[in-house]
Structure 1
Amino acid sequence: MAEKRRKVTKSCEFCRRSHLICDEQRPCTRCIRRDIAHLCTDNFTTAQELEPVKVPSYLSQQPVFVSEHVGSEFSSLNEFMSMLEDPLLASPPTLDVGCQAPLPQKKELHEGATTSKEHFFLTAADPSTEMTPEDRLKLVINAKLEAGLLQPYNYAQGYTRLQNYMDRYMNQSSRQRILKPLSTIRPAFRAIARSLKDVDLVLVEEGFERMLLSYDRVFTSMSMPACLWRRTGEIYRANKEFANLVDCGVEDLIEGRLAIYELMTEESAVNFWEKYGSIAFDKGQKAVLTSCNLRSRDGRRKRPCCFSFTIRRDRYNIPICIVGNFIPLS
């Protein structure tokens, strides 16, 4: 009976490949005879090869290889398996269609002199936290101003509009009564405005826009006719109740399309400007209770009302808008 072959628990890499018995010495006799003793390393037994092996853990063992090229392939495969565990590592550089190089970064796209609009967009997108929110707001608004996208409101045009209306529809006495308070408050407004920078004036306009947003909600919840106009008279907000009083749509009472004095009788408009002029710079008095006659947009119908108005001022104590409430008397 033939002698039973001894079971080998370990074999070197080269004995395994040749399917020969390894004597378990390191280096083994066969590798010594082949003059590759320095490459003789342990390998898995046949039983071990049949067991499932986790590839990343096996690759991380980094055994000694026959050639340096095998080693580089091992490293590449190990890197690939790592990328499978973390897909972010495998993200390739973004390439433009038909190009062989990565797209230039934002900085490269703006190497030349940037335009004012580009400067504004870059400033607005800058998430810098090295300044206070107020300083950052001023910086962004300044950039927007330089880009021509935001400008201080031109009140001179508002006064010109009022003057043209008076010349066309009012008698000489009424014009003089309105011009008297305006001749006092307009120079004071101009003096303050000249002492401010454009950025400060834009900040005032920014405050006006925020005020409009707040009154949008207030007017919607009110059942009393109400509207808001600038100190030169142009209406910028109103609720539907006021629109019904003057026979026009709410969409006609925005962006200065109509002025409050255009919806009052001549005597009521004069009364308003005189009372407004008397408290324009009086911090202690904000609201005035009086009466007026509203008229429809086409001028055919009049509505007597109890009328109160409140002056809202900006940070420089200049009236930025007037809010009026009206209670029809009939």
Structure 2
Amino acid sequence: MKHISRRFEKNDILRIVRALAIIRPSFIALQMPMSEEDEVFVEKCFQRSLIELDKLVSFSGTPTVAWRRTGEICLVGPEFCMLTGWEKEELVGRRKYIYELFENQSVVEYWENFANHAFENTTQSVYSHCVLLKPSGAPVPCTFCFSIRRDIMDLPSLVIGASPSRAPPS
């Protein structure tokens, strides 16, 4: 929320808050019955998913990034780093969030899309346009899709984003 209040205008903040309000009750309802052992098990499964996804990404030529439902980046492919100019070490393990790499309008649209699809059929991907930001702040217009994987408790857990192509200049 600190990031949002520093970076966005009131209208965009309201759109993001509305999107989060859509999914919040479902998250609370699904997390309430979880024990500490459940949470540990879910995290172990999450880490295992990352290991498997890392293998898959290493064989793909598609710019790919994966993040937790909170937006915290947990895996990046080398092609994503080439596309954006970010180093892997700057993104993974440093509490860097995917929405910090989007320009403002892309952040708002991402949260609205995530809220609309978080509890839908997970076999579908969400296709969209976004503008990524290089470390210098330079824009990188892209088309991308993201898929939401759920954990064993049926909570959205891992979001996998891939940019199959760079958007043509406007």
Q: Fold-level match, TM-score > 0.5?
A: yes
Unaligned stretches of 5+ in structure 2? Answer: none
1:267 equivalenced with 2:98 (yes/no): no
* Conservation of the 8 A alpha-carbon contact between 1:236 and 1:256: no
Aligned match of 1:318 in 140, 155, 158?
A: 155
* Conservation of the 8 A alpha-carbon contact between 1:229 and 1:321: yes
Aligned match of 1:296 in 114, 129, 134?
A: 134
Instruction: Specify the alignment match of 1:242 in structure 2.
Output: 80
Instruction: Specify the alignment match of 2:93 in structure 1.
Output: 255
Q: Which amino acid aligns with 1:322?
A: V
Q: C-alpha separation between the residues in 2 aligned to 1:258 and 1:328?
A: 22
Q: C-alpha separation between the residues in 2 aligned to 1:314 and 1:306?
A: 27
Q: C-alpha separation between the residues in 2 aligned to 1:256 and 1:318?
A: 24
Deviations 1:97-149 (A, max 9, x none): xxxxxxxxxxxxxxxxxxxxxxxxxxxxxxxxxxxxxxxxxxxxxxxxxxxxx
1:179 equivalenced with 2:17 (yes/no): yes
Q: C-alpha separation between the residues in 2 aligned to 1:168 and 1:187?
A: 26
Aligned match of 2:8 in 161, 170, 181?
A: 170
Larger Rg: 1
Instruction: Specify the alignment match of 2:63 in structure 1.
Output: 225
Q: C-alpha separation between the residues in 1 aligned to 2:114 and 2:29?
A: 19
Structure 1 segment 58-207 matched on structure 2, within 5 A: 163-207=1-45
Q: Which amino acid aligns with 2:53?
A: Y
SS in structure 1 of the partner of residue 17 of structure 2: helix
* Conservation of the 8 A alpha-carbon contact between 2:63 and 2:80: yes
Unaligned stretches of 5+ in structure 1? Answer: 1-162
Shift of 1:194: 1.6
Q: Which amino acid aligns with 2:157?
A: I
* Conservation of the 8 A alpha-carbon contact between 2:122 and 2:148: no
Deviations 1:150-196 (A, max 9, x none): xxxxxxxxxxxxx1111001111111111112112123212221211
SS in structure 1 of the partner of residue 69 of structure 2: coil
Structure that is richer in strand per residue: 2
* Conservation of the 8 A alpha-carbon contact between 1:235 and 1:254: yes
- TM-score of the superposition, structure 2-length normalised? 0.92
Q: C-alpha separation between the residues in 2 aligned to 1:183 and 1:264?
A: 21
Instruction: Specify the alignment match of 2:142 in structure 1.
Output: 305
SS in structure 1 of the partner of residue 39 of structure 2: helix
Shift of 1:328: 1.1
- TM-score of the superposition, structure 1-length normalised? 0.49
Structure 1 segment 32-51 matched on structure 2, within 5 A: none
Change (3 A) 1:263 1:284: closer
Instruction: Specify the alignment match of 2:116 in structure 1.
Output: 278
* Conservation of the 8 A alpha-carbon contact between 1:238 and 1:250: yes
Shift of 1:297: 2.2
* Conservation of the 8 A alpha-carbon contact between 1:279 and 1:285: no
Q: Which amino acid aligns with 2:146?
A: F
Shift of 1:329: 2.2
SS in structure 2 of the partner of residue 229 of structure 1: strand
Change (3 A) 1:211 1:284: closer
* Conservation of the 8 A alpha-carbon contact between 1:306 and 1:329: yes
Q: C-alpha separation between the residues in 2 aligned to 1:195 and 1:283?
A: 23
Deviations 1:191-249 (A, max 9, x none): 22121111011111011000110111111111111100011101000011111222221
